[in-house]
Amino acid sequence: MAKVKLATVWLDGCSGCHMSLLDMDESLAAIAKKVDIVYGPLVDAQEFPEGVDVTLVEGAVSSVEDMKLIQLIRQRSKMIVALGDCAVTSNVPSMRNSIPVKKLLNRIYCEAVTAQPGIPSDGVPSLLRHAVPVHEVVKVDLHVPGCPPKADAIAFVLTELLEGRKPDLASKVKFG
Question: Nearest approach, Cβ of 77 to another protein (angstroms)?
Answer: 18
**143 sits near another protein (criterion: CB under 8 A):** yes
Q: How many other C-beta atoms are found inside a 10 Å radius of the C-beta of residue 51?
A: 9
Nearest alpha carbon to residue 54 among 87, 9, 13: 9
4, 38, 56, 132: residue in contact with another protein (rule CB under 8 A): 132
Let me know: does 82 contact 133? Beta carbons within 8 Å. yes
Show the binding pattern over residues 31-60: x = contacts another protein (CB under 8 A), - = does not: ------------------------------
Residues 13-32 touching another protein, rule: CB under 8 A, are: none
CA distance 40 to 25: 20
The DSSP bridge pattern shows strands 142-144 and 77-83 to be parallel
Q: Which stretch binds another protein (CB under 8 A): 28-36, 48-56, 66-74, 166-174?
A: 166-174
Show the binding pattern over residues 67-106: x = contacts another protein (CB under 8 A), - = does not: ---------------x--x--xxxxx-xx-xx--------
Nearest alpha carbon to residue 96 among 127, 54, 131: 131
CA distance 67 to 169: 27
- Interacting residues with another protein (CB under 8 A): 82, 85, 88-92, 94-95, 97-98, 130, 132-133, 135-136, 140, 143-145, 147, 169-171, 173-176
